[in-house]
Amino acid sequence: MNAESSGRLLLNRSTFTKLVVVAFIMFGFGYAMVPVYRQVCEVLGINVLTQKDGTVIRPANTQIDMTRTVTVELDGNAQGPWRFRPTQRSVAVHPGAMTTVVYEVVNTQGRAVKAQAIPSYAPQSATPFFKKVECFCFREQVLGPHEARQMPVVFFIDPGLPREVKDITLSYTFFEIGGAVAARASDGRGPG
């Protein structure tokens, strides 16, 4: 073996040894991260999901203002051939808490109708703080002849709502739009 070959061999062994050491350090670091992460989270009080005895802790939703309650009065107005009403008159909510209410509509006609709901709020200053996540008012509704339907509204009151607002009225006006609606294919009937 000449000096050049033995120098390369020594360099290759040195590089290999360094790579093996780096690999072990990386493995050790990754392995140590789990208990370190748990300890840091426990000290800071974040993301603590399981106690040492195995009981599960559900993190509190800090966006809910448990110090106050807002009463949401529900109202429904029908402008067309149906009955339309909320299934409950009011609901008490904490600002920030997700809440679901249900409105019921019954088409009293022997024909299909297309309708749309328009919301309004009182006091008007509460409007920007009333956040709907899901609502039947987001799209047109087609109701078959004599069809009854329950339609949910999922909402929350923004915790930034001024403290002097203790009551909000959510009112919907449900009105017919367009002309005659073609009957559904399952009816087997034409426009009516």
Task: Determine the average pLDDT of the residues in 160-180.
Answer: 88
User: Please, is 91 exposed, middle or buried when counting C-beta atoms within 10 Å of its C-beta (0-12, 13-18, 19+)?
Assistant: middle
**Is residue 64 over pLDDT 70?**
yes
CA neighbor of 64 nearest in space, from 157, 166, 154: 157
Q: What is the predicted pLDDT for the residue at 154?
A: 95
pTM of the model: 0.62
Q: Helix, strand, or coil here: 141?
A: strand
Least confident of 7-11, 18-22, 165-169: 7-11
User: What would the two tokens of residue 2 be?
Assistant: 């000449």
Q: Rg of the chain's alpha carbons, rounded to an integer? A: 31
